[in-house]
Structure 1
Amino acid sequence: MLVGSPFSRRQILDLLEQRKATTFLSYFAYYKRKHKTEGHYQFWQEGSHPEEMNNETLLIQRLAYIHNIPVKRGYVDLPEHWRYSSARAYAGKDALLPIVLLY
């Protein structure tokens, strides 16, 4: 499951309902019964909440954590070796998507 905002949750669930995506909706309904009685679906992972990235130090910590996941799992030796990681761009290597810094 994912972690995110109630706004995006509602948009995704509305789209699934419009398209009659019963497999996904029944999956979310099944997990909702385990946790709470309010609402129909459990969309986001229980116990996780969005966190504002309001300073550069926190952003760098979270980015390093994400970049090191393939290393921790033993897929690569360095974060920039993972083809799908933005760590490649930060290391000055060719990346699948460019990184745009807004500061």
Structure 2
Amino acid sequence: MHAELILNEAMMRESWIYILANPVKRGYVNLPQHWRYSSAANYEGLMGLMVIDV
């Protein structure tokens, strides 16, 4: 993997979706919000490990 410059919101969204999908692709969880270390739960209205502003 290499560093990639994020130039706009579309690229940011694409990167975020890619990161959230990794544990699902690897078969660790069925849904991104089930991954303990993901912020996906927060965006679903659930409580994650950390409090974040959504």
Tell me the TM-score range normalised by the shorter chain. 0.7 to 0.9
Q: Output the TM-score relative to the length of structure 1.
A: 0.46
Q: Percent identity?
A: 46
**Following TM superposition, by how much is the alpha carbon of 1:75 offset from its aligned partner in structure 2, in angstroms?**
1.0
Find the partner of 1:92 among 45, 48, 54: 45
Which residue of the partner structure matches residue 10 of structure 2?
57
**Correspondence 1:77 to 2:30:** yes
Output aligned runs, 1:12-51, within 5 Å: 48=2, 50-51=3-4
Query: Which one has the largest radius of gyration?
Result: 1
4+ aligned runs moved over 3 Å, structure 1: none
Aligned residue pairs total 54
Higher helix share: 1
Counterpart of 1:30 in structure 2 is none
Q: What RMSD, in angstroms, separates the aligned Cα atoms of the two structures?
A: 1.7
State the alpha-carbon separation in 2 of the partners of residues 91 and 52 from structure 1. Answer: 28
Stretches of structure 2 that go unaligned for 5 or more consecutive residues are none
